[in-house]
Amino acid sequence: MSLPRHSTGIPRLDQALGGGIIPGTLTVVMGATGIGKTQLGVSYAHAGIAQEGQSGILFDLTTRGDSQNQTEYAQRMFGWKFRQRSFADVFDPNVVWDADKIRSDYLHVFNRGGRRVTIGDMQPEEWQEFKADLMRRLDQTIAYFYGNFVHGVRRCVIDGVEPTTKDSDSFQFHLFDYVYHQVLRKDHDWLARDLFRVHFRAQEPEVMKHAYDHNSISGMLLYTSHEVMLDDLISRPIQSGDVLSNANTIIMIGKTRHDNKMGRALYVAKHRGSACEETIMPFHITEHGLVFDT
């Protein structure tokens, strides 16, 4: 039996997607800084409350030492105050089942103090240091996702991916690739093994009580592009190994120009396994997020 589509929280966009996002798949929302990606991601995460009884979660990969204003948007658009998790919150395998202690909405994984996002920007010893630090953060990352999934979360938004010449040069993509393949797409008990390790046998009865189907979990990656104009995004070539080539759904958001007036529009470039509209959809940003003109 097929699972219900995940609403984006925006009826007009759901219509263009043939009913919404297909569960268990990856959606990439691509566009320049400030175009409206984060508002769309927050809307999608919040829509989980109505559908699954739990809001989605946000995983912030920004490396500039700041965030993407997700907390501000959530509060302004929906009156939604994030329960934030910090890397100072040490994971304790004995409390993973306590919703008050493990259920959260937001985690900012990096704090690079303004550093750039490519491996080439670092000296070899800096790259080795960074990789060691990243490995220390993986336990908290797994705990964040797993602890939310066992409490009913079925959608996650990964934000803050900044543009690079090649995805393989970006350490943000190294972490995204791990999260997508080794967390979101992994059977619940095998993810629990990665998390509990030597404590897994002691926790196994609870793991099985809190089983979930990873095929019901959808991921939305918000990807900042070099391209600003929607026409340039649409004509952007997709290379082998590009994150866009692995996405089930690609939503492009960019600027448009008509005579001497600039605007914004959205285009569903790919939606595998479902009919979708080929329409370029103009919209504007309000205090409540994206509002389509038609």
DSSP assignment of 232-266 equals HHHTPPPPTT-HHHH-SEEEEEEEEEETTEEEEEE
Domain membership flag for residue 61 = yes
Name the packing angle between helices 37-46 and 70-78 (round to 10°).
Answer: 60
Residue 69: which domain range? 11-87+100-292
Domain membership flag for residue 237 = yes
Domain membership flag for residue 19 = yes
Residue 164 has pLDDT above 80, yes or no: no
Find the mean pLDDT for residues 67-94. Answer: 84
Domain membership flag for residue 282 = yes
What's the rounded Cα separation, in Å, for the pair 289 and 279?
20
Q: Convert the pLDDT of each residue in 190-230 to its tens digit.
A: 999 999 999 999 999 999 999 999 999 999 999 999 899 99
Find the mean pLDDT for residues 12-28. Answer: 96
Tokens of 273: 């396994």
Q: Which is higher by pLDDT, 243 or 13?
A: 13
Structural domains in the chain (count): 1
Interior/surface letters 15-37, b for 16+ CB within 10 angstroms, e for the rest: ebbeebbbbbbbbbbbbbeebbb
The CATH number of whichever domain residue 212 belongs to comes to: 3.40.50.300
Domain membership flag for residue 4 = no
* Mean residue pLDDT across the chain: 88
Domain membership flag for residue 5 = no
Domain membership flag for residue 6 = no
Q: Decide if 253 contacts 264 (C-beta within 8 A).
A: yes
Where is mean pLDDT largest: 60-64, 130-134, 283-287?
283-287
Q: Which is higher by pLDDT, 165 or 152?
A: 152
Where is mean pLDDT largest: 165-169, 199-203, 235-239?
199-203
Domain membership flag for residue 2 = no
